[in-house]
Structure 1
Amino acid sequence: MSKTDFQCTACGYQSPRWVGRCPACGNWDSFVAAKAVSNRKSAREGSALHSLTEVAAEDARLPTGITEFDRVLGGGVVPGSLVLIGGDPGIGKSTLLLQTAECLCGRGTVLYATGEESARQVSLRAKRLGIRGANIYIASETDVDVIKEHIASLNPAAVIIDSIQTTSRSQVQAVPGSVAQVRECAAEFQQVAKGTETPVFLIGHVTKDGILAGPRLLEHAVDVVLYLEGDRHHNYRILRGVKNRFGATDEIGVFEMREEGLVDVPNPSALFHGARQEEAVVGSVVVPTLQGTRPLLVEVQALVSANPYGMPRRMATGYDVNRATLLIAVLDKKVGLKLGHCDTYINAVGGVKITEPAADLAVAVAVASSYREAAVLPGTVVVGEVGLTGEVRPVNALNARLKEAAKLGFRRAVVCAAREVQDYLETVQVDTLGDALEAALE
């Protein structure tokens, strides 16, 4: 027998009755009916107790053959891992995994189960990408039990499910994509991955808010969560690690979308900071950010213009607009820039998203540069966190950031005074935001 519960699609909280507001996460109208299935096995067959010292702990990873993908995964995919890849429609998720299937088919067969395309459509896409993998088997199937039978008969080196929202189980009385179906199907694929030591890749849809569709517990059930980001009007895609039980989180891989598919970008810093280290450009600053373990140089641009209407606008692309508003307030209060009647626009070049506070100083310098019509000195990078009192705070991995900047031809850096730095380039150490503006601007 099965009973009907209600579950929050945002956090997975369960309730015996429907409620308007989730008591766990606070979201409104997020509860949907989810039937609990009682005939699932409580444990995998053959489960036994093992001493920690008896379990083999070799880090045997399978390289996917795609350098940037391997970097985000932590050096390759771990056997028996469950990897979830999300992204906007048409961003390149299926393309990336089809290319991965071609690379992995040299180690054995690869099963590509799709519920969104026919086998002929997948074959046409593979032909367009130049993929001729004889060991890639396509199953246009959505029933999880049938997919498990294919896995048992093929014993593949890897399994790709496109997508998890289209799969279903006949024992669950719910439509595909519902909370109950996604939860049960993910649990079944998790058992397959752990029981057979076969890596399973799941493609997931995202909502209009940019988060994975379905219950939040889907991200908790898998081992790795990756997001493929980018703008359809740009050719570049960023694969970002959000969760990784076997490697660093917030690691990124950069790809270029071409006719033959997604191609690795070996030097993304040269892509995101442009070629302006020898130019004096008003409102443009280069900041050495840290994405996971990778130093990445990004150009930050700012535009400040007078607003005669009394309500200034604050807009930011690739940067937190609330953080930008805070920095504008510090510039107004502590430095004396009268930005209260000015519109301020901030942009991170190349479609990259900056989330760390180490970019505070660069954003503030870019805004001040545009306001004063004074360019940053050529060949200069700026990095540091800015506090509410106008002080400049240190950042982590500063030497790695400066080493990357020196490798790309930058000669000078404006940093916090509280850190010892190696002499990769000339450093100007500052204590306050006002000192940083004097050191960075012409």
Structure 2
Amino acid sequence: MAKRHPSFVCQECGAVYNRWKGKCEACGGWNTIVEEDGAASPMAGPAATRPSRAKGRVFPLEGLSGEIKEAPRTPSGIAELDRVTGGGFVRGSIILLGGDPGIGKSTLLMQASAALANRGQRVAYISGEEAVAQVRLRAERLGLGQAPVELASETNVEDIVATLSQGRPPALAIIDSIQTMWTETVESAPGTVTQVRGSAQALIRFAKTTGTAVILVGHVTKDGQIAGPRVVEHMVDAVVSFEGDTGHHFRILRAVKNRFGPTDEIGVFEMSDLGLREVPNPSELFLAGRDMATPGTAVFAGMEGTRPLLVEIQALVAPTSLGTPRRAVVGWDQSRLSMVLAVLEAHGGLKLGMHDVYLNVAGGLRITEPAADLAAAAALVSSLSGNPLPPDTVYFGEMGLSGAIRPVAQEQARLKEAAKLGFSSAVGPAPRVDKAKNGKAERLPLATSAIGHITDLVAGIAARRRKVS
């Protein structure tokens, strides 16, 4: 019998070494390498349990065209969840759901499983972290105690697969969480890279052969990344992140990867005493309670996938006596703020070198699209000048390093959402020329002040200040 040599595996990225190291050369993590046995292959096991075949088995090949016997998707019954997944759960798909502790992952999955089970579908909820009585207490608190959801507390993957294979295949199986699962084919502790990878592979094989949609709950690290090897994110069909700030009652469900739908859609929920409540019109809630007479606030007309979203951007520019002024931002990219400040100084004629700058996206939302450049710049200029912006105006537009304001996508949808919420004007880039209409510009639903350079924005705010005074 060949002698087995232990392997040393990084718990962050899954890199394998033949000896222990303090720092992983692949991801740069310190003290993340742990000794494991049998880490070379997650499918390794005793030789007697592995089938022995002299040659491969011939299997039939089929074409892309053909009859689809089953419905491609199973709606969950929660509209915001279906929006993110692309219309529902695809049969045989694997979804990896990550989020901070206490953000509401188990609550969302309990509500989704109850809604699906109440429509006659078989749903199984497997908890590896809580006892059955604890899960029942949460279901009673949410008012879902009577839902016909099959519940169990188990961590052995082979036992889970054997149990779920009895009777008709479940429409949905929830594994909470994948870090607590372990498989007999791997000789290492639960939660290690090898166990997580081996357990995920076994559950993926079960989903593909039975048509059951499986949701794997994953823990996250301190920087918001899903813990465990990144190879699991490549193995699954969709990776969904549940975001939110514990200081706010809004929760954002965002698709990071989706093989069967878009990856730029978001679902908005509001945490209440009875669980998560869907927010069909998040713009109205994000703008609720804003102070219209305060300098440094601008309303940004943004897009999240196909959904237009209006959100307030707040800025504070204050003089400082420190040698190095502070630059703090919440809900936006730090490097993006630095670029906007540099453009305002170089091309807008503003002196911000002796001022602290604070920028915040109200409501706990995180903005990633570059169309927020103009709204952030307007809020910064307004705060520096002490002049409030018009309360009935929205801002959007991408800013170049030369100070030019560039057009953005889906301008019509942004303006329609602003008009629906009572805004009467917009400030943005010049509308695009429609070649199909003899070179005429698009007809916009709102009166739009087109600006081509950042100096136009600064001059407009300065002119408004003189008019008000």
* Counterpart code for 1:423: L
Query: Larger deviation: 384-393 or 149-158?
Result: 149-158
For residues 306-321 of structure 1, what are the structure 2 equivalents within 5 Å?
Answer: 306-321=319-334
Task: Give SS of 1:107's match.
Answer: coil
Distance 1:362 1:22, change over 3 A: same
Query: Larger deviation: 340-349 or 431-440?
Result: 431-440
Q: How far 1:128 sits from its partner (Å)?
A: 0.7
* Counterpart among 172, 191, 204 of residue 218 in structure 2: 204
Distance 1:430 1:191, change over 3 A: same
Gaps of 5+ in 2: 433-440, 465-469
Task: Give SS of 2:448's match.
Answer: strand
Could you state the TM-score of these two structures normalised by the residue count of structure 2?
Answer: 0.88
Give the aligned partner of residue 88 of structure 2.
76
Determine the C-alpha separation between the residues in 1 that align with 2:423 and 2:179: 47
Map Cα deviations across residues 293-321 of structure 1 (whole Å, 9 max, x no partner): 21111100000100012220000000111
Root-mean-square deviation over aligned CA pairs: 2.4
Query: Larger deviation: 100-109 or 427-436?
Result: 100-109
Q: How far 1:24 sits from its partner (Å)?
A: 4.7
Cα contact 2:242–2:252 (8 A) shared by 1 = yes
Map Cα deviations across residues 213-254 of structure 1 (whole Å, 9 max, x no partner): 100111111111111111112211111111111111031111
* Counterpart code for 2:378: V
* Counterpart code for 2:397: G
Q: How far 1:10 sits from its partner (Å)?
A: 4.1
Give the aligned partner of residue 61 of structure 2.
49
Q: How far 1:281 sits from its partner (Å)?
A: 2.8
Q: How far 1:12 sits from its partner (Å)?
A: 3.9
Give the aligned partner of residue 61 of structure 1.
73
Query: Larger deviation: 412-421 or 375-384?
Result: 412-421
Identity percentage of aligned residues = 49
Cα contact 1:414–1:440 (8 A) shared by 2 = no
Cα contact 2:171–2:211 (8 A) shared by 1 = no
Determine the C-alpha separation between the residues in 1 that align with 2:22 and 2:79: 46
Distance 1:437 1:272, change over 3 A: farther
* Counterpart code for 1:92: G
* Counterpart among 406, 413, 430 of residue 419 in structure 2: 406
Give the aligned partner of residue 95 of structure 1.
107
For residues 219-298 of structure 1, what are the structure 2 equivalents within 5 Å?
Answer: 219-274=233-288, 279-298=292-311
Give the aligned partner of residue 144 of structure 1.
157
Q: How far 1:6 sits from its partner (Å)?
A: 4.2
Map Cα deviations across residues 149-185 of structure 1 (whole Å, 9 max, x no partner): 1101143221010100001112211111100010011
Q: How far 1:7 sits from its partner (Å)?
A: 4.1
Map Cα deviations across residues 278-301 of structure 1 (whole Å, 9 max, x no partner): x34310001111112211111000
Give the aligned partner of residue 330 of structure 1.
343
For residues 13-32 of structure 1, what are the structure 2 equivalents within 5 Å?
Answer: 13-18=15-20, 22=24, 24-27=26-29, 29-32=31-34
User: Bigger radius of gyration, 1 or 2?
Assistant: 2
Map Cα deviations across residues 378-437 of structure 1 (whole Å, 9 max, x no partner): 211110111111111111111111111111111111111262443210011111111123
* Counterpart code for 1:114: S
* Counterpart code for 1:72: V
* Counterpart among 196, 200, 207 of residue 193 in structure 1: 207
- Residues 1:353 and 2:366 aligned together: yes
* Counterpart code for 1:56: I
Determine the C-alpha separation between the residues in 2 that align with 1:58 and 1:403: 38
- Residues 1:107 and 2:120 aligned together: yes
Q: How far 1:330 sits from its partner (Å)?
A: 1.2
Cα contact 1:286–1:300 (8 A) shared by 2 = yes
Determine the C-alpha separation between the residues in 2 that align with 1:46 and 1:10: 38
Could you state the TM-score of these two structures normalised by the residue count of structure 1?
Answer: 0.93
* Counterpart among 91, 98, 113 of residue 86 in structure 1: 98
Gaps of 5+ in 1: none
Q: How far 1:271 sits from its partner (Å)?
A: 1.5
Aligned residue pair count? 441
Q: How far 1:107 sits from its partner (Å)?
A: 3.0
Determine the C-alpha separation between the residues in 2 that align with 1:187 and 1:5: 20
Task: Give SS of 1:202's match.
Answer: strand
Distance 1:184 1:47, change over 3 A: farther
Distance 1:396 1:258, change over 3 A: same
* Counterpart code for 1:287: F
Distance 1:253 1:272, change over 3 A: same
